[in-house]
Structure 1
Amino acid sequence: MSTTPSPQWVDYRAQLLRVTAHIHDHLAEPLDLAELAVVADLSPFHWHRIYHALMGETVAATVRRLRLHQASGHLAQTALTVTEIARRCGYPNAQSFTRAFRQFFGESPQAWRETRTDDLPWRTAAAAQPDGWPVTVRQVPAIEVAGVPHRGSYMRIGRAFETAQIQFAAQGLMRPDTRWLAQYLDDPFAYPEAQLSSRAGFSLPPGAEVAPPLQRFSLGGTPCAVLRYRGPYPNMRDAYQWLYGSWLIASGHRLADQPVFEDYLNSPRDTAPADLLSDIYLPLAPSAIAAR
């Protein structure tokens, strides 16, 4: 009597999570499709198509974007040489790194650094934005979000976003109007990088059910000062320094007991760094609207 073999189900989420974790942990090392297929434990003929369909970009584009994002952070916030940054970000030499950086950012690493730093280690470059940034104060409705926690440098929260994206898509929660949001609980000037806490996630459709490891949390539901920031993520420190050190002090608004959060209006996957748009939400006490 013949029997029909049971189907073998594959948890593609777990396998792609292994790949994204491996990429983030080995940016300084060579990364090729054959090696990542082994990490994913998927057929080399198909796994890259799965990744591309789910993540919205090729693996090569992911690796390039993450390496150059990390490099831009080193340039803006450390005194490391261009050669050392190239090595830490997986480039064999300063020349190949400079070519890739120029193609992505439109100028050389050294030129990019000089326009964004005054005196290293990092110091706010307020002169680059003498009139500050546009800020509006408005009531922000509560936003229901599902995501995952991140511990460590805020410059590496992309890893949490990719983990959350895989889970979000697998649970059928992604929509055309889904928002990318992050909440930052600690001041990066006050705590060591290893102790910084944040959460990365996506806005939920009404009535959506969420399964672990995604965690639900709410943002907004209070008046907020909303700063519109345009440009590379590493330079958002300038905007934060101005928002707290100039705008808030001059405004006299009382702060709510809630962490700041960010809403990313476009994606580094298909947007030049200079054109990235982000809204920084600074929660204010309920009297903020009444006092206007």
Structure 2
Amino acid sequence: MEQELTTISAHRASYERRFRRVVDYLHENLERDLDLNHLAEIACMSPYHWHRIYQSFCGESLAATVKRLRLQRAANLLVKTSDSIEQIAQVCGYSNLQSFTRIFSGVYGMPPARYRKHGSHTQFSVAQAIRSETMFPVQVQEVAPMALVGISHRGNYMGIGQAFDQLVGLAGARQLFGPDSQMIGIYFDDPALVAETELRSIACLSVSAEQQANSQAPFEKHDIKGGAYAVLQYQGPYSDMHAAYQWFFGVWLPASGYEAADVPVFEVYLNNPRDTAPGELKTAIYLALQSA
């Protein structure tokens, strides 16, 4: 019996390694022609079986993952760079500008050029924030301690999606999801003070204490400390969330009468980017407060 369990465990680990290998390849090669048969070769399986296995791990097809990641990268580049629309299309794997414009418009509700000028990020200008202490809803609430398992990420915070894609697939395969599970991102560094390549974050799933104690690599164990937190409710694309942080720390906190505790900020993702339009994504940002 023990030998049988060891064999099953080794077999599961083999599938997980293949899944992680494909996820890493996807995130690191979005500008390439990501032929689904080639991805199956990377997984060392037949395309027929691998596509089904991937979808059961990830909850979406390989084609849907590729589209989601490419458009997320495109939205981020539109907001944060002055690269031409054609350059961004190429970097995101679209050799045809018309095709890129059509697909981007279908998901984000406007073409790329208009999104750059009038997307949701433009409504959160610093000037507007300074004039408004109520731009985002914020509540102060007591948060219970939470046990987490996660996968670490180092680099640009927008790149944490790679760790989340691995987390979702592996946690699903290990049956860690429950009715109260929450997807949580913890961000340890200030991007204004730490080089982008050195930024530390971890993609997490809330679990029971027993599940955490029994978790195995590549999962890491982490805990959220209980206590008072200011919670900002944000709605919109993840690529625009930096404006909410500017307002949270630069406008709300100084006027609130509270002091921030020396605890990393974390985000709770309230809906799923796999089946939610970018403008409808909801995120709760948690800022720990010092006790009185």
Settle same-fold status: TM greater than 0.5: yes
Decide whether the 8 Å contact of 2:185 with 2:203 is kept in 1.
yes
Equivalent pair of 2:22/2:39 in contact (CA under 8 Å): yes
Give the partner amino acid of 2:23: T
Amino acid at match of 1:217: H
Distance 1:219 1:49 in 2: 35
How many Å separate the matches in 2 of 1:125 and 1:84?
A: 28
Report what 1:3 is aligned to: none
Distance in 2 (CA, whole Å) between partners of 1:127 and 1:85 is 29
**Structure 1 residue 93: deviation in Å?**
2.7
Q: Deviations over 1:112-161 (max 9, x none)?
A: 1102466xxxx945538954100000111111110011001111101011
| Cα distance in 1, alignment partners of residues 11 and 243 from structure 2 | 49
State the match for 2:276 in structure 1.
271
Structure 2 residue runs of 5 or longer lacking an equivalent are: 1-6
Pairing of 1:175-254 with structure 2 (within 5 A): 175-208=178-211, 209-254=214-259
Give distance in 2, aligned partners of 1:33 and 1:136: 45
Structure 2 match to 1:290? none
In structure 2, distance between residues paired with 1:91 and 1:82: 11
Matches within 5 A, 1:125-136: 127=128, 130=132, 131-136=134-139
Q: Is the aligned partner of 1:82 residue 2:85?
A: yes
Given that 1:126 and 1:242 are in contact with CA atoms closer than 8 Å, whether structure 2 keeps it comes out as: no
The amino acid across from 1:22 in the alignment is Y
Distance 1:253 1:57, change over 3 A: same
Residue 103 (structure 1) aligned with residue 106 (structure 2): yes
Deviation at 1:206, TM superposition (A): 4.1
Q: Tell me how large the CA RMSD over aligned residues is.
A: 2.0
Say whether the 8 Å CA contact 1:179–1:264 is kept in structure 2: yes
Q: Which residue of 2 aligns with 1:258?
A: 263
Is 1:141 matched with 2:133? no
Structure 1 equivalent of residue 97 of structure 2: 94
Q: Which moved more, 1:192-201 or 1:57-66?
A: 192-201
Residues of 1 paired with 2:193 and 2:251: CA distance? Answer: 19
1:256–1:285 contact (8 Å) kept in structure 2: yes
Q: Is 173-182 or 66-75 further displaced after alignment?
A: 173-182
How many residue pairs are counted as aligned between the two chains?
A: 278
Cα shift at 1:220: 3.7
Matched AA of 2:17: A
In the other structure, the counterpart of 1:49 is 52
Partner SS, residue 148 of structure 1: strand
Letter in 2 for 1:262: E
Distance 1:125 1:57, change over 3 A: farther
The separation in 2 between residues aligned to 1:9 and 1:150, in whole angstroms, is: 26
Contact 2:186/2:201 (<8 A) preserved? yes
TM-score by length of 1: 0.90
Q: Are 1:172 and 2:194 counterparts? A: no
Task: Please report how far the alpha carbon of residue 179 of structure 1 lies from its aligned counterpart in structure 2 after TM superposition.
Answer: 0.6
The alpha carbon displacement at 1:187 in A equals 1.3
| 1:13 alignment partner in structure 2 | 16
Contact 2:57 2:170 in 1 (8 A): no
Q: Which amino acid aligns with 1:197?
A: R
Give the letter for the 2:258 counterpart. Answer: H
Letter in 2 for 1:280: I
Cα distance between partner residues in 1 of 2:37 and 2:17: 18
Closer, same or farther: CA 216–162 of 1 in aligned 2, 3 Å:
same
The residue aligned with 1:58 is: 61
Question: Which residue identity lines up with residue 275 of structure 2 in the other structure?
Answer: D
C-alpha contact 2:155 2:199 (8 A) present in aligned 1: yes
In the aligned structure 2, how far is the partner of 1:192 from the partner of 1:249? 26
Task: Please state whether the residue corresponding to 1:107 is helix, strand or coil.
Answer: coil
Structure 2: how far apart are the matches of 1:99 and 1:12? 36
Fraction of identical pairs, as percent: 42
Once the two structures are TM-superposed, the CA of residue 190 in structure 1 deviates from its matched residue by 2.2
What amino acid sits opposite 2:260 in the alignment? L
Residue type of the alignment partner of 2:68: R
1:66 alignment partner AA:
L
Q: Which aligned runs of 4 or more in structure 1 are off by greater than 6 angstroms?
A: none
Quote the offset at 1:181 in angstroms. 0.2
